[in-house]
Structure 1
């Protein structure tokens, strides 16, 4: 079955996927495939690369630039790349970008001589493929947003009152993460303290409240929680 990948007829295929600009998408596509294989086995979470995005209403756009300091978050919001895990977005962009880049290279760049000229011709192909992939991804993830939003709400209800273990060097009012065993790979949650309290790696904390605007959880020590019951 796999012998087809080693046939001489496959040489043009390998040349295309390993040449610029397709090789960039090939790299990210390989990483995403490896990621999903590991995720299926339960070793990592689907939202391992997620970071907080500001609400669309809170993003101020002036002219062609962003006044928001988080340029990446601003770009994602502008192109409609929010509401689903970043890993899903990267997977779609990698696959779609790879497809467009591959066929453009296969049918058009073959007429361009090897060397610097081929590289220069590949730059607009890269930008075009990336742009089209982003646009299509924004359309594809729209129907997925309600599903992930509902799943997140269910997760929040489930974890409140549960005990988690601090995984970062510290947890304070500005920084920190904790892991919560869920019977699978475990959940990695962003946690914060109040009143100047601080925890260190390995401490047991209880998730008291979900701070929706920052997608974090307010925590107290397990001892304090049990003492107040």
Structure 2
């Protein structure tokens, strides 16, 4: 196998994946492969890149005059192109894979008639954009039947972890800020959390997940002592 990969007949393949524009997708594909290898070992969570995206049938105004943050604008564009309802890591992985395949074969079959040098770089820009466009739309089609599965899994996860104990991982958790980590036998679940009322919990404090706020995808927490109630 390795003899075939290192043979001279494979040189055009290596030149293709390491040159513009294919190298753009090669880089991101390598990163996603490395990520999934690490995820299999349990060092990172599948939703490490996730941020709040409305439901697939929702809407978001991405007009920059409305003062939306960068994640809000990105979430709006992802929703517009149907890239919602599954973990962002899966979306990015599929875009990297299909973008790489599309770009590789376009370059393989068409760049032979384009002279080397500046002309190839200029031709590479539209090839890059077309490949990205195709990858986004193919990914949107493929993830559509997966959305109900992930939504059901998320609902089951919420039901399972409510009432469980977590540990504050940020400098604090108050009514406006904070994250907690809950042990799940693997890398742990990192969850956005908010304290009830004016309570403030510091890093390392043990809290209990009391309520899931679906609109903001965060959890209302109380201290372990408060949840247990006064000891008799």
User: In the aligned structure 2, how far is the partner of 1:157 from the partner of 1:184?
Assistant: 19
- The CA deviation string for residues 135-159 of structure 1, in whole angstroms up to 9 with x for no partner, is 0100000110011111101110110
Question: Aligned to 1:189, what secondary structure does the other structure show?
Answer: strand
Mapped contact 1:68–1:74 kept (Cα < 8 A): no
Mapped contact 1:66–1:74 kept (Cα < 8 A): no
- Match in the other structure for 2:60: 59
User: In the aligned structure 1, how far is the partner of 2:65 from the partner of 2:148?
Assistant: 27
- Match in the other structure for 2:111: 109
- Match in the other structure for 1:23: 23
1:1-229 aligned at under 5 Å gives the runs: 1-55=1-55, 56-60=57-61, 69=68, 70-227=72-229
CA-based RMSD of the aligned residues comes to 1.7
Question: Aligned to 1:157, what secondary structure does the other structure show?
Answer: helix
User: In the aligned structure 2, how far is the partner of 1:133 from the partner of 1:225?
Assistant: 48
Question: Aligned to 2:199, what secondary structure does the other structure show?
Answer: coil
User: In the aligned structure 2, how far is the partner of 1:202 from the partner of 1:104?
Assistant: 53
Structure 1 residue 26: Cα displacement = 0.4
Structure 2 gaps of 5+ residues are none
Structure 1 residue 164: Cα displacement = 0.3
User: In the aligned structure 1, how far is the partner of 2:91 from the partner of 2:59?
Assistant: 22
Structure 1 gaps of 5+ residues are none
